[in-house]
Chains A and B, each alone.
Chain A
Amino acid sequence: MIALLLAIVTALFFPGIIIRVKSLVSGRKGPGILQPWKNILVLLKKSSVFSTTTSYIFRIAPLIYLATLICAILLLPFPGSTSWFSFGADFVLLAYLLALGKFFFIIGALDTGSSFEGMGANREALYSMLAEPAFFILFGTLALLTGHLSMQSIFGQFQFSGYNSVISGIIAVYVLIQIAMIENSRMPVDDPKTHLELTMIHEVMILDNSGFDLALIHIGTNLKFALYGILIANILIPVSLSFPFKIALFFGIQAAFAASIGLMESFRARKKLMKNPQFIVTLSSIALVGFIISLLMMFQLIR
Chain B
Amino acid sequence: MIGRMGCVLIGVTLLLFLIRNWVLKTRVVREGTTWGCGYTAGTARQQYTGTSYADAVAELAEPVLRTLKEDQPILEEEIFPGERKFATHPIDIFRLGLNRLIDFLMLVLKKLARLQTGNIQHYILYAFIFMILIFILLTFKIL
> Interface on A for B, CB 8 Å cutoff?
44, 46-54, 60, 63-64, 66-68, 70-71, 74-75, 85, 87, 90, 93, 97, 110, 112-116, 118-119, 121-123, 125-126, 129, 197, 207-208, 211-213, 216, 277
Cα A118 to Cα B42 in complex, Å, equals 14
Add 15 more A-B contacts to A53-B33, A67-B9, A67-B12 (CB < 8 A): A48-B30, A51-B32, A60-B17, A63-B16, A63-B17, A71-B8, A87-B2, A93-B5, A114-B35, A115-B47, A122-B52, A125-B56, A126-B60, A207-B35, A212-B24
Q: How many A-B residue pairs have CB under 8 A?
A: 113
The number of residues on chain B lying at the interface, defined by a beta carbon within 8 Å of a beta carbon of chain A, is 36
Cα A87 to Cα B4 in complex, Å, equals 12
Give the residues in chain B near A50, CB-CB below 8 Å. Answer: 29-32
Known: A47-B24, A71-B5, A119-B48. A208 touches B35 (CB 8 A): yes
> Interface on B for A, CB 8 Å cutoff?
1-2, 4-5, 8-9, 12-13, 16-17, 20, 23-24, 27-37, 39, 42, 46-48, 52-57, 60
A196 to chain B: closest residue by CB: B37
CB distance from B47 to the nearest CB of A (A): 7
CB distance from B134 to the nearest CB of A (A): 63
A100 to chain B: closest residue by CB: B9
A48 touches B16 (CB 8 A): no
B1 to chain A: closest residue by CB: A87
A115 touches B46 (CB 8 A): yes
Cα A262 to Cα B127 in complex, Å, equals 90
Q: Which of B12, B23, B24, B34 has the most CB of A within 10 A?
A: B34
Please tell me which one of the listed residues A110, A125, A212 contacts residue B23 in the complex, with CB atoms under 8 A apart: A212
Cα A71 to Cα B9 in complex, Å, equals 6
Cα A75 to Cα B17 in complex, Å, equals 22
B20 touches A63 (CB 8 A): yes
Cα A216 to Cα B32 in complex, Å, equals 21
CB distance from A209 to the nearest CB of B (A): 10
Give the residues in chain A near B20, CB-CB below 8 Å. Answer: 63, 212-213, 216
CB distance from B32 to the nearest CB of A (A): 5
Cα A113 to Cα B34 in complex, Å, equals 8
Cα A250 to Cα B112 in complex, Å, equals 81
CB distance from A30 to the nearest CB of B (A): 28
A48 touches B24 (CB 8 A): yes
B37 touches A51 (CB 8 A): no
Known: A60-B17, A122-B55. A116 touches B37 (CB 8 A): yes
CB distance from A233 to the nearest CB of B (A): 22
Please tell me which one of the listed residues A44, A51, A63, A207 contacts residue B31 in the complex, with CB atoms under 8 A apart: A51
Give the residues in chain B near A64, CB-CB below 8 Å. Answer: 13
CB distance from A187 to the nearest CB of B (A): 20
B13 touches A118 (CB 8 A): no
Please tell me which one of the listed residues B16, B23, B34 contacts residue A208 in the complex, with CB atoms under 8 A apart: B34
CB distance from B53 to the nearest CB of A (A): 5
Give the residues in chain B near A125, CB-CB below 8 Å. Answer: 53, 56-57
Known: A67-B9, A68-B9, A197-B37. A277 touches B60 (CB 8 A): yes
B20 to chain A: closest residue by CB: A212
Cα A118 to Cα B50 in complex, Å, equals 9
B6 to chain A: closest residue by CB: A71
A123 touches B56 (CB 8 A): yes
Known: A63-B16, A63-B20, A93-B2. A118 touches B31 (CB 8 A): no
Give the residues in chain A near B17, CB-CB below 8 Å. Answer: 60, 63
Cα A67 to Cα B1 in complex, Å, equals 17
Please tell me which one of the listed residues A48, A85, A97, A118 contacts residue B48 in the complex, with CB atoms under 8 A apart: A118
Give the residues in chain B near A115, CB-CB below 8 Å. Answer: 39, 42, 46-48, 52
A70 touches B12 (CB 8 A): yes
Cα A226 to Cα B30 in complex, Å, equals 34
